[in-house]
Amino acid sequence: MDPPSPDSIQPLSKRDAQQAFIKYASEKCCYSTKPAEEGVITLMETFDTYRYCLETFTETRTMERSQKPYFGEKIDTEQRTPPGKWEIPVNAPDFFHEGRHEVEVPHTSSVKGESPACPAVGLEDCGVCNGAAEVRCFVCLGRGRIRVFTVLIVSWHNNRDQHTVEQFSGLKMSKLDKVPGRMMFTDTGDMVHPVRNFSDPAVVQTSESFLRKHQKNLQSSKTCILKQRQTIELLPISKVTYEWREESHVFVVYGRNFKVSAEDYPAACCSCCSLM
């Protein structure tokens, strides 16, 4: 599936840029709002960029031996062939939601006449008084016998990789990590195909690279891929030049929620807010 063209995205208006700038300044404890309110915008440059994300939802199955105190209950003995780990039905959670589940494997139980920690009477030497008395064994709970069986451990994990294409507005890339963008493309399937015919070749290359990486690293005899999802978000970025008191300054408006970065704000009474 080819993603749509971003040509229909409207650029940020001067009015919206100034309103975002005023809001930014008003929320800083040591900023005067006069530069934001009185500054005259002289230039607006667009540096829109894209954030590509690939999610691969996997299921991993492992088996290990476990044990419990035996209370005389009927057991599913080892006299029949137990199923393989991928033959046991387990309900997975909703796709892309992580989880863990344990289930006892059929036909794997046996009873041991004594626990590994105590004789058959279910007592062991006390570790506090160095054996001067006996206490109930914590393994068999004093029963003297344990049930040994195999447990299937199933875990679901959402493996996520994302990449934001480099932009040259002067905005630090780290500021884009958590801001919401405009969703342009979503593709979900058992196995998705690389993005094709997108306007930014860096997105195409990232899609191909991430898919190769996930298919190589996330499939094994213990792990299988259940679902994949890839998305492309547009991150709007506008570099705004304005004049205030005959001097030129710059601020950047970015993200769908109009976040602002203004590292050279001209009316700050201290430097603490400018670092935020």
Does 127 reside within a domain? yes
Per-residue pLDDT at 143: 76
The mean pLDDT of 149-178, rounded to a whole number, is 95
Q: For the full predicted model, state whether its pTM sits above 0.85.
A: no
Per residue in 190-239, pLDDT (tens digit) is 999 999 989 999 999 999 999 999 999 999 999 999 999 999 999 999 99
Percent of the chain with pLDDT over 90: 72
Determine, yes or no, domain membership for 49. Answer: no
User: How confident is the model over 36-46, as pLDDT tens digits?
Assistant: 999 999 999 99
Q: Residue 97, SS3?
A: coil
- Sorted by sequence, the CB contacts under 8 Å of residue 221 that are 6+ apart come out as none
Query: Cα dist. 111→42, 118, 139, 144 in Å?
Result: 83, 15, 13, 11
How many independent structural domains does the chain possess?
Answer: 1
Report whether 162 contacts 53 (CB < 8 A): yes
Q: Give a yes or no: residue 18 inside a domain.
A: no
Residue 169 within any structural domain of the chain: no
CB-CB contact of 109 with 145 (8 Å): no
Tell me the average pLDDT of the chain: 88
How far apart CA 252 and CA 241 sit, in angstroms, is 9
Domain boundaries, position 90: 57-157+184-235
Kindly tell me if the per-residue pLDDT of 12 is higher than 70: yes
In a domain, 126, yes or no: yes
Per-residue burial over 25-58, b = 16 or more CB atoms within 10 Å of its CB, e = otherwise: beebeebbbebbeebeeeebeebbbbbbbbbbbb
The percent of residues in the chain predicted with pLDDT above 70, rounded, is 86
Residue 140 lies in a domain: yes
**Position 1 in a domain:** no
Q: Return the higher-pLDDT residue of 68 and 79.
A: 68
pLDDT digits (tens, 9 = 90+) for 94-145: 999 999 999 999 999 999 875 556 654 556 665 545 555 566 777 787 777 8
Residue 165, token pair as written in the block: 């294409």
Residue 201 lies in a domain: yes
